[in-house]
Chains A and B, each alone.
Chain A
Amino acid sequence: MNISNYIYYGFFTIIETLLRMFPFPAKTGYQKVGKPNEDSPVLLTCNFHLTILRLKKATRGLNYHLLIANSKGINVWCAATGGSLNNHSVISVIKTSGIENKVNHRKIILPQLAASGVESKVIQQNVGWKILWGPVNAQDIPEFFESSFEKTNEMKQVEFRFVQRIEMAIMWIFLATAVLMPIWGPLFKLEAAFLLAQICFIYFLVLISFPIFERIFQKEIEKKKAFFTIGNLVVLLINLVYAAIGVVLYVIVYQKDYSWILLRWSIVSFLLVLLVNMELKGSSSTYKSDSHADKLYDIAVDLEKCKGTGICVDVCPRNCYVLDTEQKKITMPRQKFCVQCGACIVQCPFDALYFMNRKGDIIQPEIVRKFKLNLMGKRT
């Protein structure tokens, strides 16, 4: 990689990290990575520009054919679970990119997180290509290639890692700044600098200390608590303490008519804290946003239908499943870590898995496959 590549990579990484909330569509279709021949593996990914950049960086030195499927510029997991990366996008890129004349095999490696939106059964029937579910992170692809496409449990698991948490913090800081500063800046000048400092302070602290909140959330997820919970309240209080420290610091530094400043500052801090708190779970990769009804559902197994093929073991991003090889049935020893992404339900060839809540309401596999997750909660 020469210097201009570094600049290109750095520039787009910064811009697209700051604006991560928004789609960045890249050109779809076929690309060569390295010097692939007709036996080289075929990989497929979404057309979120940042994803492609990172994939290529992580797989430098490898030779493969890359297909970029239309996901409307959204990252793999969001696009697959939200319905933008679906069977049609995969079938379309396989058929229209000319890949069928470039290789002499019919195996395609998809990111594991695409499993909530792309059905391997449909792809096999429709175009005759066999899907292999690759690792969650692009960084694991070189190792995945070396081990002749065997995944370890670590490669399958989604974690909300430190770097990702920092990334989310930066994204939120940028958005909050872009919304608040044009109003606050001209009005209160020096105070605006303090507000900016506080925005950074709160977001970094909350996202860095996320593992602490995680324990509270985890207990509530197990109990299937609804929208506003004790956990949220605790997080809210901790945040408010952060904010209060900020306010006090400000008053100490800027001693002048502080009663009025204190009031206005408390209000804006409270709004900020509320905002952080609202989407905290939604911006993590291990919890579902509070606005989704799905989070109140559990995965249920119909043991009569289960044939123990273990496809769910392969696609679960939280390693919830273990295959009982003697009984040829699936077990869920880690059910409490489930994020309700629905990948296992979508992939099960025998329709043995479905969503069920405590009241006994059921969401059947065909509904999960057809109506992807969106804000309107279409599935239920």
Chain B
Amino acid sequence: MKVLESAPHRYDKGIKILTLGKIDKAYDRLIESIKKDDNTLDIGCGTGMLSFRAVLKGAKVTGIDINPEMLEIAKKRVNELEVKDKIAFLEMGVAELDHFENDSFDVIMSGLCFSELSDDEISFTLNQVNRILRNEGKFLLIDEIRSKSIVKRIINWFLRIPLVVITYILTQTTSRALKNIEKRITESNLLIQSRRSNFLDNFVEFIIIKGDKK
């Protein structure tokens, strides 16, 4: 059983193999909508792949994650990059998002975190995002999804199996795919401003804004 426990220092590499390098490009693209001095929240920051990109664009970042070992790696990078006063990492789960005040963030982002959450947690998180995001704010979401087209799903399935096995052996990391995320976003009174996915429709980037107030 012990061998199956996560190995954080190999996580980044694992994710890069699993997504065939798509992840870096997607993060770079999404980060373009962050402006200087934006107050930014990174949900499920892990080792800080998204957080550090945002900080280098001049934003103020709070990264939250539940894995203390991942955060330890992120904190080490903070010291290397000398951006101490612009970034903070907290050990915190999505269920603790209610500690933040209303309208406290200009940008909220989350990369490959929602697919780790349960249905209840996703609903809770989306509602909290709606509450803590400023009216003109943006919510950037990147994740693996399950395609709506059956053909693409079958192709994905066959392509993914060897990839999952190789990645698991090399890094003991794996990931799951999100289902019906669009519907759940709209249910939480959020609006999808743009959706970008790859050809196989298994990897998606959303820019989400707040919907009209009830």
Contact = CB atoms under 8 A, between A and B. Distances in A.
A and B from one complex: yes
A74 interface: yes
Contacts of A95: 95, 98, 124
Interface string A61-99: 000000000100011001000111010110111111110
A370 B124 contact: no
Contacts, number: 72
B68 to A, nearest CB: 5
A89 B95 CA distance: 9
Contacts of B67: 83
B96 interface: yes
Contact of A371 (B2, B3, B69, B96): B69
Interface string A37-69: 000000000000000000000000000000000
A376 B8 CA distance: 11
Nearest to A289: B2
Interface string A300-331: 00000000000000000000000000000000
Contact of A88 (B5, B66, B120): B66
B4 interface: yes
Interface residues of B, number: 23
B95 A88 contact: yes
B3 A375 contact: yes
B118 A96 contact: yes
Contacts of B92: 88
Contacts of B5: 82-84, 372, 374-375
A378 B95 contact: no
Contacts of A27: 118
B119 interface: yes
A374 B95 contact: no
Q: Which of B4, B94, B98, B119 has the most CB of A within 10 A?
A: B4
Interface string B111-125: 000000011110110
Nearest to A23: B4
B1 interface: yes
A39 B93 CA distance: 29
A92 B95 contact: yes
B181 interface: no
A347 B135 CA distance: 43
A350 interface: no
B95 A96 contact: yes
A91 B1 contact: no
A28 B5 CA distance: 19
A29 B4 CA distance: 23
Tell me whether chain A's interface is mostly helix, strand or loop, or mixed: loop
Contacts of B118: 27-29, 70, 92, 96
B170 interface: no
B211 to A, nearest CB: 21
Interface string A10-44: 00000000000111000111100000000000000
A378 B119 CA distance: 32
B7 interface: yes
Contact of B1 (A28, A78, A98, A376): A78
Nearest to A97: B120
Contacts of B4: 21-23, 74
A126 interface: yes
Given A82-B2, A126-B96, A96 B123 contact: yes
Contact of B93 (A28, A84, A88): A88
Interface string B145-156: 000000000000
A291 B1 CA distance: 13
Interface string A339-380: 000000000000000000000000000000011111110100
A125 to B, nearest CB: 12
Interface of A: 21-23, 27-30, 70, 74-75, 78, 82-84, 86, 88-89, 91-98, 126, 282, 289, 291, 370-376, 378
Given A29-B119, A88-B93, A88-B95, 20 more contacts: A22-B4, A23-B4, A28-B118, A28-B120, A29-B120, A70-B118, A82-B1, A84-B5, A86-B66, A88-B92, A91-B93, A91-B95, A91-B96, A93-B120, A94-B95, A96-B121, A98-B120, A373-B2, A374-B2, A375-B5
6 contacts: A28-B118, A83-B67, A88-B95, A92-B121, A97-B120, A282-B2
